[in-house]
Structure 1
Amino acid sequence: MLWKPATSSGDAAPVIGAPQPTPIEGATALKVRIHQRLLEFLNLGLLDKTPRESLRLEIRGAVSALLADEKRILNLSQTDQLIEDVLDELLGLGPLEPLLKDETVSDILINTHSVVYVERFGRLERTDVRFQDTRHLVRIINKIVAAVGRRVDESQPMVDARLADGSRVNAIIPPLAVDGPLVSIRKFAKSPIRMERLLELGSISSDMSHLLRAIVQSHRNVLISGGTGSGKTTLLNALSAFISDEERIVTIEDSAELQLQQPHVGRLETRPANIEGKGEIAQRDLVRNALRMRPDRIIVGEVRAGEAFDMLQAMNTGHDGSMTTVHANSPRDALSRVEQMIGMAGLEISPRSIRQQIASAINIVIQAERMDDGRRRVVSISEVVGMEEDVISIQEIFRFRRQGRGSGGGVSGEFETTGVRPRFIDVLAARGVELPYIDFSAGRRSV
């Protein structure tokens, strides 16, 4: 029985003539008010078990009665839209549902309850989406974070979470957010973006894609570097598609969002501290535990602190082909950041020893960048070739050379070779990995 039992026999129905709040004009206010009244009569325990179409029929009659009680007359189209909005409030994330269903939206940025921006095709635009008030927005935030066993309140006003489809969510509420709650949602495609799609988008050249396939198949350790929103995770997903189905992979993330297609994948996710400040499980703990799980490869979503040392240890002790990402603006900066993060582990290791560990563990650094026009490109593929005195030596193999602005305002340029032949070419042959012929002559336009 979808409706709560009535005091008399029969199903309960929304009570007509009940005291009403002061009418507030606007579709959002009406939707939220009807949703709140429906909650008084619905058996919430059966909502998730009731098919959406059956629920729609049940809700239509109740909404019609409540609209009559509100003295609001809507046409059929408006009524259908209101019912969809109410269903979104009951089953989904309210005003966010249309944006989450819109495949052209890649980011949703909520700046308080009254301002919502989205990113489409690399460009930010303001939407007409609104929440009724701060309480309404906070309720939606709590619905998101509760699904992954997390919480947000005044004692813990920042939270990272994810949606069921793997989309990444970050929320911060007052008192840290001065004007009201701030929410960022990084959406992910329902199906992972593969290398073929990156080629279509112009994010990479064909020669570069062939080289990256060989790099992954030959078990080179890869560090993907880039700024926020540069496509590091997307590229990591694309590279993971080249891993054999016969290998065991363990992924470690703060918020599980990788979309690996292999059948033998173990997914691990960190856990924040509870209200008493206990129970935290950090990435470093999971990396150490992963070493006991007999992985062929370990993939860390992003290294931020001391887990960088454990990741290098894994790469240096038989887990060849492992991959991770880091925030940095260039391949050289990426290696420097890894060195700094190893320092955060609190170990007594000399800088030279740290650099030797890095040079031995990391074979390839891939730099991704989000351009001024919103497009994301792989702007550099570099090989770590060892140490020269106290400096890690790297050589760039491919790069993206900017040439200015195109007629449509987009960044123009081309991928080109640097004249360096990778040293790991011999490793490919030894491992039986075939690489189509690539001309590494200096300045050659990469196709």
Structure 2
Amino acid sequence: MSVADALLMASTAGEALDEAIMRLKAPGKGIGDVGSALEELDARLNGLGEVLAPLLRLPGITDILVNSTRVWVDCGQGVEPIDDGFSSEEEVRALAITMAAICGKRLDDAVPIVDGILPMGVRVHAVIPPLSGEGTIISLRIPARGGLTLEQMRKGASIDDTTQQILSRMLEVRCNVLISGATGSGKTTLLSALLSSISVNERLICIEEISELHPAHPHVVHLQARQANTQGRGEVSLSELVRAAMRMRPDRIILGECRGGEVRDIMSALNTGHRGSFATIHANTPAEVPARLSALGALAGMSAEATHVQARAAFDLVVHMERSVGSYGNTGRRVAQIGVFGLERGELTCSCAYRIDRRGRGSTGPAWEELRRVLSRDS
């Protein structure tokens, strides 16, 4: 961060503090108002600015999306515009650059895309012109406050009673699980809830590109990948971190997202005694997970046959998340299906064992008996 940027941030922070103090001195302010004002002040000082910081108070907020001067939010009912946006594209670009600086990253003509985490845990992704066309694009992912438990997810209709029982038993017998779904479907939320349910006597090693998992668990070790610097040096890949985690006496290894050659390393780790571990993967349906694993295995130099055999031995189940909007009046992120891996004529398969439709009705699938067999084994 340059001296000019630092001075600008200090000036902005001073103005925000003065404004917050004036608001708190206004007649009729109570303890709730003090907490709200301090929370907004914290958001502004951590890079969100006066336009975006108040949006954190919206109930159920998960995403804030800025398309040049226009601002959209997702509070669980799909993307909706807000009335108040930015006055100019220059203001948005300056905010994006400030956010990047707070994350310790550059955002300029030489580096027009940035991905990072603000101090308050908000994930920021920004793109500036000419890559973004007509204006600066900022995408903010807001973490759930305090995270969710499995019981809270059940009460919120993200899982049903049967799914909660399956997930709890899955933890007990130490299944190795892939959580699949599209971007924004709730994979990280579910994974955090699962990790929060694990015994406090276990040591969890979380490996991510950018640290987003914050389970309510007393013994979590976070390992974060590092990109190469401008000289092309200093990179630490997810593959290296998986190998490092195996030497750190883990009870469970968690790979935040399986998206490249690290698939070989995580499957190797899970095939050498690290039961009860997790990874997430992008896929549209559980049935498409085997093809996705094959593609990732190819990136790691593995043959399709080797990938299928390794994956079948490494993973037991797939828990698939979906994000539904407006279907039968039911909106939000939910577990849509639980699948079981198998091998048919040397080909990896994932068959449905249990599914929940968009009305929240659960039903068993062709792999139900296989799921029962998996869940009945000794831990």
Residue in 2 that maps onto 1:258: 213
Residue in 1 that maps onto 2:310: 357
Residue in 1 that maps onto 2:48: 93
Between 1:209-218 and 1:83-92, the stretch displaced more is 83-92
Residue in 2 that maps onto 1:150: 105
User: Aligned to 1:412, what secondary structure does the other structure show?
Assistant: coil
User: Aligned to 1:250, what secondary structure does the other structure show?
Assistant: strand
Residue in 2 that maps onto 1:339: 294
Residue in 1 that maps onto 2:223: 268
CA contact (8 A) 2:323 2:333 kept: yes
Unaligned runs of 5+ in 1: 1-35, 61-74, 78-82, 402-410, 432-447
Pairs aligned (count): 359
CA contact (8 A) 2:290 2:350 kept: no
Name the aligned partner's letter for residue 54 of structure 2: P
CA contact (8 A) 2:46 2:119 kept: no
CA contact (8 A) 2:158 2:335 kept: yes
Structure 1 distance, partners of 2:42, 2:355, is: 49
Structure 1 residue 101, shift from structure 2 partner: 3.1
- The share of aligned pairs that are identical, in percent, is 34
Name the aligned partner's letter for residue 325 of structure 1: T
Structure 2 distance, partners of 1:277, 1:262, is: 36
Structure 2 distance, partners of 1:306, 1:337, is: 12
Residue in 1 that maps onto 2:34: none
1:152-194 residue CA offsets vs partner (Å, 9 max, x unmatched): 1111111111223322221111121111110111111111111
1:82-127 residue CA offsets vs partner (Å, 9 max, x unmatched): x999997666421110012333322111001x11111122222111
1:412 maps to 2:359: yes
1:2-54 residue CA offsets vs partner (Å, 9 max, x unmatched): xxxxxxxxxxxxxxxxxxxxxxxxxxxxxxxxxx9xx68x9x49969x99589
Alpha carbon RMSD of aligned pairs, Å? 3.2
1:226 maps to 2:181: yes
Structure 1 residue 378, shift from structure 2 partner: 1.2
CA contact (8 A) 1:359 1:384 kept: yes
Residue in 1 that maps onto 2:33: none
Between 1:87-96 and 1:226-235, the stretch displaced more is 87-96
Residue in 2 that maps onto 1:17: none
Taking structure 1 as reference, are residues 45 and 141 closer, same or farther at Cα in structure 2, changes over 3 Å only? closer
Structure 1 distance, partners of 2:91, 2:212, is: 26
1:399 maps to 2:352: no
Structure 1 distance, partners of 2:297, 2:11, is: 48
Residue in 1 that maps onto 2:265: 310
Larger radius of gyration between Structure 1 and Structure 2: 1
Residue in 1 that maps onto 2:378: 430
Structure 1 residue 278, shift from structure 2 partner: 2.7
Residue in 1 that maps onto 2:369: 421
Unaligned runs of 5+ in 2: 29-36
- TM-score w.r.t. the length of structure 1 is 0.73
Structure 1 residue 430, shift from structure 2 partner: 2.2
Residue in 2 that maps onto 1:298: 253
Residue in 2 that maps onto 1:127: 82
Q: Which has the higher helix share?
A: 2
Structure 1 residue 56, shift from structure 2 partner: 2.9
Taking structure 1 as reference, are residues 144 and 103 closer, same or farther at Cα in structure 2, changes over 3 Å only? farther
Q: How does 1:379-398 map to 2 (within 5 A)?
A: 379-385=336-342, 387-398=343-354
Residue in 2 that maps onto 1:204: 159
CA contact (8 A) 2:287 2:351 kept: no
Tell me: higher relative CO, structure 1 or 2? Use CA pairs within 8 A at least 6 residues apart.
Answer: 2
Structure 1 residue 259, shift from structure 2 partner: 1.5
User: Aligned to 1:292, what secondary structure does the other structure show?
Assistant: coil
Structure 1 distance, partners of 2:183, 2:46, is: 31
Taking structure 1 as reference, are residues 53 and 177 closer, same or farther at Cα in structure 2, changes over 3 Å only? closer
Residue in 2 that maps onto 1:167: 122
